[in-house]
Amino acid sequence: MVFSRLVEIGRVALINEGPDRGKLCVIVDVVDQRKALVDGPCSGVARQAIGFGKLYLLDFKIRIPHSARRKTIVKAYEKMDIGKKWEQSAWAKKLVAKAKKASITDFERFKVKCLKQQRARVLNKKFKELKKAQAVQS
């Protein structure tokens, strides 16, 4: 099993814990075995040391020298259009869907339930037809 997402200078990561939860940041330098220096000028994350445990590594990487200044990071980030790529990724879309699901009102929940039932009815009907057809064949 080969790891494809490595901790390296320029690796884009998703912060999973703390006040910056859900924001993207870039690994700028490694402090020690447990912490990285991280910065996210384009996503509102202050330059700070963060434990690796709080990060999810993403598939994106930008070319920056170690301990790069914010200006450099912004340039490289925008050149590769990381923000847009992230939003289009399946991972980001799933997060958005999850947040939406958690915030639906009681009425919306009811409507979702009705729609699910409708869909189930359609599926079951078709499934039974196919099953019947198969039984007839054999």
Where on the chain is the footprint of another protein (CB under 8 A)?
A: 102-107, 110-111, 114
Among residues 103 and 137, whose Cβ is nearest to another protein? 103
Q: Would you say 99 or 122 has its CB closer to another protein? A: 99
Backbone phi and psi for residue 70, each to the nearest 5 degrees, phi listed first:
-60, -40
Give the nearest distance from C-beta 102 to another protein in angstroms: 7
Looking at beta carbons only, is 111 or 125 nearer to another protein?
Answer: 111
CB of 46 to another protein, least distance (A): 29
Smallest distance from another protein to CB 69, Å: 41
Q: 42-55 in b/e burial notation, b at 16+ Cβ within 10 A? A: bbebeeeebebebb
